[in-house]
Amino acid sequence: MARKRIGPQTVKLEQPPVIIGAAAVAGPLEAQGPLGQEYDRTYPDLTLGQSSFEKAERQMMIDACNLALQKAGITGKPPAVDYFLAGDLLNQIISASFSGLEVGVPMYGLYGACSTFCESLAIGAQLIDGGYADRVLCAASSHNAAAERQYRYPTEYGNQRKPYAQYTVTGAGAVVLAAIGEGPRITYCTTGRVVDFGIADPFNQGAAMAPAAVDTIEAHLRETGRRVEDYDLIVTGDLARFGRDMARQLAAQRNLILGGNYNDCGAMIYDHTRQDVHSGGSGCASSAIVTCGHLLKEMARGKLRRILVVATGALLSPTTFQQGENIPAIAHAVALEA
Provide the β-strand partners of residue 126.
none
Instruction: Looking at the structure, tell me whether residues 174 and 291 fall in a common domain.
Output: no
Provide the β-strand partners of residue 312.
331
Could you say which of 126, 151, 178 is where a domain stops?
178
Instruction: Looking at the structure, tell me whether residues 229 and 154 fall in a common domain.
Output: no
- Mean pLDDT across the chain: 94
Q: Which of these, 49, 55, 52, 28, lies nearest to 39 by C-alpha position?
A: 28
* pLDDT bucket at 153, cuts 50 / 70 / 90: low
Taking the mean position of all CA atoms in its chain, how far away is CA 261?
A: 19
- 27 DSSP 8-state letter: -
Provide the β-strand partners of residue 272.
none
CA dihedral of residues 303, 296, 74, 190 (deg, nearest 10): 130
The yes-or-no verdict on residue 158 having pLDDT over 60 is: no
| 44 three-class SS | coil
Instruction: Looking at the structure, tell me whether residues 167 and 239 fall in a common domain.
Output: no
In a domain, 2, yes or no: no
The yes-or-no verdict on residue 157 having pLDDT over 60 is: no
In a domain, 192, yes or no: yes
The yes-or-no verdict on residue 248 having pLDDT over 80 is: yes
| 123 three-class SS | helix
- 291 DSSP 8-state letter: I
Could you say which of 137, 157, 178 is where a domain stops?
178
pLDDT for the residue 199: 84
Instruction: Looking at the structure, tell me whether residues 244 and 284 fall in a common domain.
Output: yes
| 235 three-class SS | strand
Give the total number of structural domains in the chain: 2
Could you say which of 115, 144, 178 is where a domain stops?
178
Parallel, antiparallel, or unpaired: how do β-strands 185-190 and 10-12 relate? antiparallel
| 196 three-class SS | coil
Parallel, antiparallel, or unpaired: how do β-strands 83-87 and 107-109 relate? parallel
Specify the amino acid at residue 335. Answer: A
In a domain, 328, yes or no: yes
What is the mean pLDDT of the segment spanning 39-59?
96
* Count of all residues that appear for the chain in the document: 338
pTM: 0.95
Beta strand extents in the chain (DSSP E only): 10-12, 18-26, 41-42, 83-87, 107-109, 135-142, 167-168, 171-178, 185-190, 233-236, 262-264, 281-282, 306-314, 329-337
In a domain, 319, yes or no: yes
In a domain, 252, yes or no: yes
The percentage of residues in the chain with a pLDDT greater than 70, rounded to a whole number, is 95
* pLDDT bucket at 160, cuts 50 / 70 / 90: low
The yes-or-no verdict on residue 83 having pLDDT over 80 is: yes
Instruction: Looking at the structure, tell me whether residues 198 and 172 fall in a common domain.
Output: no
In a domain, 254, yes or no: yes
Question: Rounded to whole angstroms, what are the CA distances from 7 to 193, 212, 221, 235, 309?
Answer: 13, 17, 11, 22, 19
pLDDT for the residue 280: 84
Q: Which CATH number covers residue 267?
A: 3.40.47.40
Question: Rounded to whole angstroms, what are the CA distances from 202 to 134, 138, 166?
Answer: 40, 28, 10
Name the residue range of residue 38's domain: 10-178
Q: Is the dihedral of CA 248, 250, 251, 252 positive or negative?
A: positive
The region, left, alpha or beta by phi > 0 then psi within -120 to 50, assigned to residue 272 is: alpha
